A and B are shown apart, each in its own frame.
Chain A
Amino acid sequence: MEKQPLIQVSGLHKKFSSDLRRGLLHGAQDMWRDIVSPSRKNPGLRKGEFYSLRDINMTLYSGEILAIVGVNGSGKTTLMRLISGIYNLDGGTITSLPGLKLTAIFALSAGMQPLFTGRENIYIKGSMYGMTLPEIEAKVPFIESFSELGDRLDRPFGNYSSGMKARLAYSIAMATNPDVFIIDESLAVGDSAFKAKCMDNLREFVNEPGKGVIFITNHIRKILKVADRLLVLDKGSVIHEAEDVGAGLEFYINNCNKHLGAEMQKNKLAVIKSYEL
């Protein structure tokens, strides 16, 4: 089956401020510019600013799970927030199939209410994803069954363990039935059986026509298990793209340890391989 591009990112730039006060000042200036002169182009780097993402080019195809790895602060979450429409672009373009439905999870429990039951939270979180009441009601049996929470669904969400919270939140996100699913480090919690179920579910998900997943994680085993392609980010730039996920991960690990000598690098890779792989 021919792969169809679902999301395409070209020449993407995003800048932030490294200094709090200066960042707020720039924020006030940007707000003023947006109000009085919205057509004016974004200014370049100002004092105290840096590029969090620089000239990012990537494509997500249907039927694939694209994993993105990078050390902390490499720009993975910023990139996903740009694709999700949370942040404004400072340069470049993001294009997609018209009417593409995207669900992003940056923190599984975000917006869930501790004083309300799991069942009540299905309605709260579902509505945050833009679902209507009939849509949510139609999906409640799926959420009940996928989360396997049983009668614990009627207990206050605040009393849930982190694993139970992950079960419910992931099930609700899956119930939105998106075209593209963005998962940002969200499957790190939960018991192994449920995590394995989620991984299998993601594979089944992308086997449906017109579906794709962007998976952000630094868990090497998970990437090897599910990813079809790998993108390595470093200091806001894509430094490597690979369809051979194993080789791509080896590049990533070596790049993380590039400050070490060749011998040390080899040893470190061996340690990580024996532990993770």
Chain B
Amino acid sequence: MTNTPKSPDSHLLSPLHLSEQQNTRVSVSKTFQDLRSYSLLVRQLSRVEIRAEFRRSLLGLGWMVLVPLVAVLVWVLLNQAGILNPGDTEVPYPAYVLLSTSVWGFFAEIYRACSRIQEKYGRLLLMTPFPIITLVAQAVVVHLIRFAIPLFLNVAVLWLFGVRFGLAALLFPFALIPLLLLGTGIGLLVSPLRIVVADISRMADEGIRLLMYLTPILYSPKLEIGILSDLVAMNPLTYLIGFPRDLLTNGTFFAPFYFGFFAVLSIVFFLIAFRIFQITEPRIRERLIAN
């Protein structure tokens, strides 16, 4: 047996990118560089996510239209039965619910997708390493596509309900950005917790569900119901959902100061959450063995 030299002349060697990066923080510029280098993977994974879901379905993408349609029909029926007292809404109640649930879904679905990134793709990352930023980007891309398709239907239904859109409605997609960042940020914080502290992630899931009842989705923000009204007034989602909704339906600005305030907070929150997600991600990969 011949022993291999243990300390070869290492003048050709320089610190390996892998070892350098593994135990240090991933820089912002590296994140953007990774996103650019792996843009094809973002496209491929987005395509897989959307097409795989409907590939074996006869209705295919029709499900994207059918599900919100059924939801609004249920609420219209409940309204006609006089069960609901939604408070004063400036547009017909079914139109109000249709749009509100859709905007709520915009928030809740991106939370759901981002909060499960490591649970869903962790094993794959152990087998085929690639930058996790691609999975975040894919979650956002898929989410936007899934939201855009029923949104066109919603706009058509709103038109039938007599809602007329002004020029301000064009700002609607931009007004959704803070909501997207807030949902993504919360999801990215919950994602690692889902692996190491499952109790907290479960609480977060329940919290998001509870938050829906504290947000004027099925009722008007003007509805006076004691302490609930105070909670609604303190809830950032009241403004982050109410502002784009009013922009689209009335062309008015709902509580612009609070919207601006919470929008800035959402951006800051997202940046912090994304950084924490990046820092903790390698630790989570190691713990995936136990899952």
A-to-B contact residues, CB < 8 Å: 4-5, 7-8, 16-17, 20, 23-25, 27-28, 30-31, 34-35, 38, 57, 59, 61, 81, 83-89, 93-98, 100, 102, 104, 106-107, 110-111, 113, 115-116, 123-125, 127-133, 136, 229, 240-244, 247-248, 251
Chain A hits for B12, CB < 8 A: 4-5, 97
CB atoms of A35 and B127 under 8 A apart: no
Task: Please state if B25 and A38 are interface contacts (CB–CB under 8 Å).
Answer: yes
Supply 15 further A-B pairs (C-beta < 8 A) apart from A88-B23, A88-B283, A116-B51: A8-B8, A8-B10, A8-B13, A23-B287, A24-B197, A31-B284, A34-B283, A35-B276, A85-B19, A95-B19, A100-B16, A107-B127, A110-B128, A111-B128, A115-B51
Interface size on B, residues (CB 8 A): 57
A34 touches which of B38, B52, B280 (Cβ 8 Å): B280
6 pairs of A and B residues whose beta carbons are closest in the complex: A110-B127, A85-B18, A127-B41, A96-B16, A94-B19, A27-B196
Nearest CB of chain A from residue B22's CB, rounded to whole Å: 5
- Is B160 an interface residue when CB atoms closer than 8 A count as contact? no
The CA-CA distance from A8 to B3 in the complex, in Å, is: 15
Tell me which of A8, A16, A127 contacts B40 (CB under 8 A). A127
Q: Which residues of B contact A136 (CB under 8 A)?
A: 40
* B286 interface neighbour in A27, A123, A133, Cβ under 8 Å: A27
Which residue on chain B has the smallest CB distance to residue A97?
A: B12
Of all chain A residues, the one with the shortest Cβ separation from B121 is A111
CA distance A24 to B193 in the complex (A): 10
A87 to B284 Cα, complex, angstroms: 10
Partner pick for A96 among B13, B45, B195, CB 8 A cutoff: B13
Contact B3 A241 (CB under 8 A): yes
Provide a sorted-by-A list of 22 A–B residue pairs whose CB atoms are within 8 angstroms. A20-B290, A23-B290, A27-B196, A27-B284, A30-B283, A35-B276, A61-B8, A85-B17, A89-B22, A94-B18, A97-B13, A97-B14, A104-B128, A106-B128, A110-B128, A116-B48, A130-B37, A130-B41, A136-B40, A229-B4, A241-B1, A243-B4
Contact A95 B15 (CB under 8 A): yes
**Smallest CB gap from B198: residue in A:** A24
Q: Is the interface of A mostly helix, strand, loop or mixed?
A: mixed
Contacts of B15 in A (CB 8 A): 93, 95
Give every chain B residue within 8 A of A95 (Cβ-Cβ).
10, 13-16, 19
B163 at the interface (CB under 8 A from A): no
Cβ contacts under 8 Å, B18 to chain A: 83-85, 94, 96, 102
Give the residue among B10, B16, B38 with the most A Cβ atoms within 10 A. B16
